[in-house]
Structure 1
Amino acid sequence: MLRVHFTAGDLARTNVADAPDPFWESVLSLHRLRRTEADPVLAGWREHVLAHGLSALRLLLPLVPAHGYFPDFLTPAASTDGFEAGLDALLSTPRARLREQLGRLAGAGPPDPWTRTLAEGSGPAVRRLGAALREHRDHALGPSWPQIRARVEQDRARRARTQWYEGTDALLRTFAPAMRWRAPVLEVDYPVDRDLRLEGRGILLIPSYFCRRTPVALADAELPPTLVYPAQGTCARAERAESAPLARDLARLLGHTRAAVLQSLGGDCTTSELARRAGVSVSSASEHAAVLRDAGLIVSDRRRNRVQHSLTPVGLALRAGARELVPPAVRSPAVPPPGT
């Protein structure tokens, strides 16, 4: 069992991630590929990845055993800003950290020549790892990203509504039975017995499509506290039935184009990406984003030379009921791969 110890300050700093994390999804998808039991939901996905991504799997699978420890550097905190940000952080992992974490991995099983080479921290080996992660992203995540994002956003919307209206205590209670909130400790079903003391740092809760059983935490307690858990989807038929009345009301309130912009926001995205998803011009996306921001439905932050837009809890609550809002004519024809 994992016991996560909260203080009052930690409750105020507990958040649910805005979008799927491409590196956590990559690592956990490798777990799914290693499992031999049949999973009819993932059967077609598994067949596709094994047919097209073997060269990447030869490098990645030795780093991610079917059970137990895998290196924390494979899931950098920077990946919450997208695949490229996460990859930059991973490629910059200090040699000492590579050596320590891969040494711990080697201690759990027979030595592997590739992991030994990577542990030396040579530039070519690290770049090969980066190329393998990019290839695995393209084959394992890219084609499935619409389903991954939809499942995570459904889960995120429900959790965020609970936290917004009822507080973090109520949010933590929504994770039962796999996690049990007995203030000030969150008890988590976990393969090893350990304690994680937040000590005012808070915790980021990340819903994951490929996390299918017990939650997963970083091994190093000194890293930013993170807990990845299985994202819970909803029945599509029930979701459509519940959303129809709200969709009609929102259509009258927002208009179809602005509704398309609202519905296209999943996780953080730039104005140009928002325009591409909603099927409108960049200037139109910027104008509609400004109106939604003034209404308190989205927030916009400048990061380096880009403006990133994301939904507020109120925006999430509205969007969750708007699945049937946007007609096909104004929807984006394709969902971009993660991190683009």
Structure 2
Amino acid sequence: MHARMEGDRVLGAALQPLRTLVPSVGYIPDFLTPPAAGGELSDALDLVRGTPRGRIVRELTRLGERRALPGWTVTLGRPGDEGLAALTRALEAYFGAVLRPHWPHIRAVVGNDIDLRTRTLLDGGTQALLNGLYPLARWNPPVLEVDYPVRRDLLLDGRGLLLVPSFFCWRRPTALADPALPPVLVYPVAKAPLDITRATGEGVVRLLGRTRAAILADVARRDGRTSSEVAEAVGIAPASVSYQIGVLRAGGLVDSQRAGKYVLHAATALGLRLLDAR
């Protein structure tokens, strides 16, 4: 898939807006994850195209505090600007090239989770449903304590909380960054991890060394890993992990972004291509 995206210039150009606005780690503008009204991709794309200019400015300003943005983002959403249309075309192209072939499986996995949560709610009520989120979250009435990468409090103030199972959410739940938006908690569904076991094959080990190969494989398995989490998984000292991640980052294989008091690491597209090489 990575080779196809690199070799197809039309597809690569279409996806460029996504590379700009959707970092591998850290904040993603909320308007790019609209509510699934209608349940169809076209409905979600309509919501993205209809995002008010003021909201786009606020969220891109927040993103710009974390990474440099190109000039075309300044006019995004202005009357007559085609940036939102290009962005939704990029989302549609990505879905068609990457997700559509696997969509029946993805929908089945998410549907199984919804069936399980629904039965839990009907049999045991809201308390059983929230208790069932453990270990991703802990129900400590009246507070739902979530394993979240940054420290934050979200007050419902009488609003409901929408639970959204996601095939693409790994390890930790996530939520919309803007507390004024309808409260949503996106949590990972149970699924087999991506098959990257060949990452520790002899070819990658000879190239990177066994320790760096193990670190790269670990950050590729889970989106947004802290150095301490990597150290525990790989079995080496945190100081050594920091050094080795620095080497991988300098080689373009790992991306690191600050999220509150944490620094989260993820494999870059180049790192994933290396792990995927046969």
Q: TM-score band, normalised by the shorter chain?
A: 0.5 to 0.7
The alignment yields a C-alpha RMSD, in angstroms, of 2.0
Asked if 1:92 corresponds to 2:50, the answer is: yes
Name which of 207, 210, 221 aligns with 2:168: 210
Corresponding position of 1:12: none
Cα distance change of structure 1 residues 50 and 224 upon mapping to structure 2, 3 Å threshold:
farther
Structure 1 residue 82 displacement after superposition: 1.9
- Say whether the 8 Å CA contact 1:56–1:132 is kept in structure 2: yes
Q: Which runs of 5+ in 2 are unaligned?
A: 193-278
- Give the Cα separation in 2 of the matches to 1:47 and 1:175: 37
> What secondary structure sits across from 1:67 in the alignment?
coil
- Give the Cα separation in 1 of the matches to 2:85 and 2:26: 26
Cα distance change of structure 1 residues 49 and 109 upon mapping to structure 2, 3 Å threshold:
same
Asked if 1:185 corresponds to 2:143, the answer is: yes
Name which of 157, 178, 182 aligns with 1:199: 157
Which deviations, in whole Å up to 9, do the C-alpha atoms of 1:200-251 show, x marking residues without a partner?
21111111111112111001111111111111149xxxxxxxxxxxxxxxxx
Name which of 124, 127, 134 aligns with 2:82: 124
- Say whether the 8 Å CA contact 1:151–1:209 is kept in structure 2: yes
Structure 2 counterpart of 1:199, one-letter code: D
User: How many residues are aligned here?
Assistant: 190
> What secondary structure sits across from 1:123 in the alignment?
coil
By relative contact order (CA 8 Å, sep 6+), the higher-ranking structure is 1
Structure 2 counterpart of 1:229, one-letter code: Y
Corresponding position of 2:188: 230
Which deviations, in whole Å up to 9, do the C-alpha atoms of 1:83-120 show, x marking residues without a partner?
11111111111111111111111111123234334265
- Say whether the 8 Å CA contact 1:203–1:225 is kept in structure 2: yes
Asked if 1:150 corresponds to 2:83, the answer is: no
> What secondary structure sits across from 1:194 in the alignment?
coil
Alignment of 1:54-65 (within 5 A): 54-65=12-23
Structure 1 residue 57 displacement after superposition: 2.5
Structure 1 residue 64 displacement after superposition: 1.3
Q: Which runs of 5+ in 1 are unaligned?
A: 1-44, 235-340
- Give the Cα separation in 2 of the matches to 1:104 and 1:156: 33
- Give the Cα separation in 2 of the matches to 1:174 and 1:104: 34
Which deviations, in whole Å up to 9, do the C-alpha atoms of 1:10-34 show, x marking residues without a partner?
xxxxxxxxxxxxxxxxxxxxxxxxx
Cα distance change of structure 1 residues 79 and 123 upon mapping to structure 2, 3 Å threshold:
farther
Which deviations, in whole Å up to 9, do the C-alpha atoms of 1:294-313 show, x marking residues without a partner?
xxxxxxxxxxxxxxxxxxxx
Which deviations, in whole Å up to 9, do the C-alpha atoms of 1:136-168 show, x marking residues without a partner?
111122111011111101111111110011111
- Say whether the 8 Å CA contact 1:216–1:228 is kept in structure 2: yes
